[in-house]
């Protein structure tokens, strides 16, 4: 890897010698305040002692970017510096100040004719959906509507062959989890081969990926029916699942069996994750998207009920245990609750509907984005409203309100009853 980086950096360094443009610099200063309505009775976060979600948080983030592009390559970097001050609801989320500096993105790319070699940290997203991309093995969830947050990025190395203006083939390897940390399972690299074709009124792509013995095959595409209507799909299929299941107490060969949280080792069933959608653009420019997603890996009603019962049992143990006199019981219950919150199934339920409405001119210099998601089986969902107003060419005010609704035993209301972001972005 070190040798390949030297080669890439050498090629990209030539960008400055033949660059047709000056280096690009830019920065955004984001000031924000967030208000969290934390559930106090959640079995997944008893009395907010595990997640420690603050009641209020205020902060500032500098989002910097620098890019140098030339004939033989690209060098780019996107550092972030964040300062925040949180006001808590209990001892686990007490008042605290935090300063963080990290790299959200970078790119070292060398160009050899129509072949690009790159090493990057980025959000490698594709597909036309506003909410999810089942064919993407790296980032299944793609919603970026909240202007105050960024999806965590990952590290990639790969090669891209630009066959012509319409066809591209890329071989990519996810070499490190970057900022997208999996707390409970060790990272394992994943490799994907992706091909894209762009037509006059349509675009299609296909992806094959491999990770630790598991293969996934996917495809996506869109068709522009006319000036107003766009239809699209994004789908994947894979065999086996690493999702966690809650196994109820019973009698084992060696005695009484307690609650267990485990994967099903014999699960070699082929699963399908399919999203279909359409968008309509009105004469004034506003758009509506409707999407439906079916994921056979999602939990059945019985499996969801078992997960909820498991969380209730572990929450009871956590509340009854004394972390000083019985730290083992408290720690074990906390660990089990942490695991069940991230059960590794792509979706909690099997059938989900999404809707989005975007109006960039709801008022002078003001835009509106409204989103709705709802699990048909789990009977829970969330609504998000984002309103932004341009004070001038550089300063934008924004508010983001998300309100989960439906079953309190579902996926969306495990921690919060609502969250509100308020703030501004100044661009330089």
Q: How far apart are CA 72 and CA 14, in angstroms?
A: 6
Average pLDDT over residues 177-193: 83
Q: How far apart are CA 57 and CA 78, in angstroms?
A: 24
If you ran DSSP here, which 8-state letter would residue 132 be given? B
SS3 229: strand
Note whether 393 and 414 are within 8 A (CB): no
Note whether 369 and 400 are within 8 A (CB): no
Structure confidence at residue 92 (pLDDT)? 66
Query: What burial letters (b/e) apply to 373-386, b meaning 16+ CB within 10 Å?
Result: bbbebbebbbbbbb
Structure confidence at residue 373 (pLDDT)? 94
pLDDT exceeds 90 at position 46 = no
Model confidence pLDDT, tens digit, residues 284-308: 889 999 999 999 988 888 888 888 8
Q: Which among 126, 81, 116 has a CA at the least distance from the CA of 100?
A: 81
Structure confidence at residue 61 (pLDDT)? 96
Model confidence pLDDT, tens digit, residues 240-287: 887 888 887 764 445 445 677 777 655 678 899 999 999 999 998 899
Return the bridge partners of 200, or none. Answer: none
Q: Which among 165, 65, 74 has a CA at the least distance from the CA of 117?
A: 74
| In the chain, % of residues over pLDDT 90 | 54
Average pLDDT over residues 354-378: 93
| Confidence grade of residue 191 (pLDDT, cut at 50, 70, 90) | very high
Q: Which among 186, 167, 165 has a CA at the least distance from the CA of 177?
A: 186
The count of other CB atoms within 10 Å of the CB of residue 212 is 9
If you ran DSSP here, which 8-state letter would residue 141 be given? B
Structure confidence at residue 234 (pLDDT)? 97
Note whether 372 and 394 are within 8 A (CB): no
Q: In the numeric block, which tokens belong to residue 215?
A: 């293969």
pLDDT exceeds 80 at position 6 = no
Place of tokens 């033989």: 72
Q: How far apart are CA 186 and CA 54, in angstroms?
A: 28
| CA diameter of the chain | 74
Average pLDDT over residues 112-130: 93
CA angle 164, 65, 161 (to 5 degrees): 15
| Confidence grade of residue 185 (pLDDT, cut at 50, 70, 90) | low
Strand runs labelled E in 113-258: 115-122, 154-162, 167-176, 190-198, 202-211, 214-224, 229-239, 245-247, 250-252, 255-257
Model confidence pLDDT, tens digit, residues 217-238: 999 999 999 999 999 999 999 9
pLDDT exceeds 60 at position 18 = no
* Alpha carbon separation from 187 to 178, 190, 211, 281 (Å, rounded): 10, 9, 10, 41
| Confidence grade of residue 407 (pLDDT, cut at 50, 70, 90) | confident
| Torsions phi, psi for 307 (to 5 deg) | -60, -40
Average pLDDT over residues 65-92: 90
- Can you spell out the DSSP letters for 25-86? EEEEEEEEEEEEEE-SS-TTSGGGTTT---SEEEEEEEEEEEEEEETTEEEEEEEEEEEEEE
Structure confidence at residue 134 (pLDDT)? 95
Place of tokens 């443009």: 21
Note whether 132 and 141 are within 8 A (CB): yes
**77, exposed or middle or buried, with CB in 10 Å at 0-12, 13-18, 19+?**
middle
Note whether 389 and 396 are within 8 A (CB): yes
Q: Which among 19, 1, 47 has a CA at the least distance from the CA of 157?
A: 1
Q: Which among 349, 390, 347, 387 has a CA at the least distance from the CA of 371?
A: 387
Is the four-CA dihedral 117, 122, 124, 125 of positive or negative sign? Answer: negative
Question: What average pLDDT is seen over the chain?
Answer: 86
**358, exposed or middle or buried, with CB in 10 Å at 0-12, 13-18, 19+?**
buried
- 104 vs 331, residue with greater confidence: 104
Return the bridge partners of 237, or none. Answer: 217, 272
Average pLDDT over residues 323-328: 69
| Confidence grade of residue 184 (pLDDT, cut at 50, 70, 90) | low
Average pLDDT over residues 28-37: 95
């Amino acid at each position: 890897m070190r040798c390949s980086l030297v080669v890439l950096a050498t090629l990209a360094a030539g960008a400055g010698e033949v660059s047709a443009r000056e280096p690009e610099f830019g920065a955004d200063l984001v000031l924000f305040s967030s208000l969290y309505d934390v559930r106090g009775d959640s079995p997944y976060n008893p009395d907010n002692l595990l997640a420690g979600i603050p009641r209020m948080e205020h902060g500032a983030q500098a989002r910097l970017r620098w890019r140098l592009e030339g004939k033989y390559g690209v060098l780019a970097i996107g550092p972030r510096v964040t300062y925040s001050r949180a006001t808590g609801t209990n001892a686990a989320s007490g008042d605290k100040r935090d300063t963080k500096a990290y790299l959200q993105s970078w790119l070292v790319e060398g160009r050899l004719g129509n072949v690009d070699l790159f090493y990057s940290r980025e959000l490698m997203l594709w597909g036309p959906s506003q909410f999810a991309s089942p064919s993407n093995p790296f980032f299944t969830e793609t919603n970026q509507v909240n202007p105050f947050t960024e999806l965590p990025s990952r590290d990639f190395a790969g090669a891209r062959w630009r066959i012509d203006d319409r066809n591209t083939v890329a071989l990519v390897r996810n070499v490190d989890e970057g900022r997208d940390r999996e707390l409970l399972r060790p990272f394992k690299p994943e490799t994907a081969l992706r091909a894209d074709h762009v037509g006059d009124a349509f675009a299609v792509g296909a992806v094959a990926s491999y990770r630790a013995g598991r293969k996934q095959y996917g495809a996506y595409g869109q068709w522009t029916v006319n000036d107003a209507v766009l239809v699209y799909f994004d789908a994947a299929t894979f065999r086996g699942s690493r999702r966690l299941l809650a196994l109820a107490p019973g009698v084992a060969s060696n005695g009484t069996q307690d609650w267990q949280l485990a994967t099903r080792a014999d699960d070699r069933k082929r699963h399908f994750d399919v999203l279909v959608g359409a968008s309509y653009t009105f004469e004034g420019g506003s758009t509506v998207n409707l999407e439906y997603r079916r994921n056979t890996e999602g939990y059945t009603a019985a499996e969801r009920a078992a997960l909820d019962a498991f969380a209730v049992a572990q929450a009871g143990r956590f509340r009854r245990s004394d972390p000083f006199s019985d730290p083992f019981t408290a720690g074990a219950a906390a660990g089990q609750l942490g695991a069940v919150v991230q059960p590794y199934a792509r979706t909690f339920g099997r059938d989900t509907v999404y809707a989005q409405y975007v109006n960039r001119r709801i008022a002078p210099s003001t835009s509106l984005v409204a989103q709705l998601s709802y699990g048909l089986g789990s009977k829970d969902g969330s609504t998000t409203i984002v309103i932004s107003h341009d004070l001038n060419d550089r300063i934008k005010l924004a508010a983001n309100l998300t309100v989960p609704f439906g079953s309190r035993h579902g996926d969306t209301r495990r921690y919060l009853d609502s969250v509100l972001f308020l703030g501004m972005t100044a661009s330089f």
